Amino acid sequence: MNFPKELRYTKTHEWAKKEGRTVTVGITDYAQKEISDVVFVELPKNGQAVAAGKPAAVVESVKAAFDIYSPVTGKVTAVSSVIEGDPGMVNQDCYGKGWFFTVEMSTESEWDALMDSAQYEKNLKTEV
């Protein structure tokens, strides 16, 4: 599998992209394939506090509902209106238009604790 190297990853299959103190969050290609056809997303509210490793959003597929965890602690600064209107975008473009929300990070050390693409790929191999 090919995971973008500029992103960081969680064991629960979220990706994170950092720009300054803002972190954009989505789910990995592996996760969207496992979930399959996304039919609904429930996103956090703008301004909502989120904590690293805690549920922040929900994605529903034809199979089941899955929690989406925040990779960092902070405050939600934006949510994706694109996937609210077209949840299937998560399957079509998980690293682009299929992002979920952004967080203004409150603890820089949490970013450093996330996995890089090589670590995430290694983690996937031990998980299977």
Rounded alpha-carbon distances, angstroms, from residue 103 to 5, 44, 69, 122, 128: 20, 10, 12, 27, 30
Query: In 3D, which of 113, 101, 117, 126 has the Cα closest to residue 50?
Result: 101
**Closest C-alpha among 111, 82, 110 to residue 98:** 82
Q: What is the pLDDT of residues 19-42, one digit of tens each?
A: 999 999 999 999 999 999 999 999
Task: Report the predicted TM-score, pTM, of the whole model to 2 decimal places.
Answer: 0.95
The answer, yes or no, to whether residue 66 has pLDDT greater than 90, is yes
Cα separation, 118 vs 63, in Å, equals: 29
Per-residue DSSP letters for 13-54?
A: SEEEEEETTEEEEEE-HHHHHHH-SEEEEEPPPTT-EE-TTS
Query: What domains sit in the chain, N to C, each tagged with a CATH number?
Result: 9-120 (2.40.50.100)
Task: Read off the pLDDT of residues 84-109 as tens digits, 9 standing for 90 and up.
Answer: 999 999 999 999 999 999 999 998 99
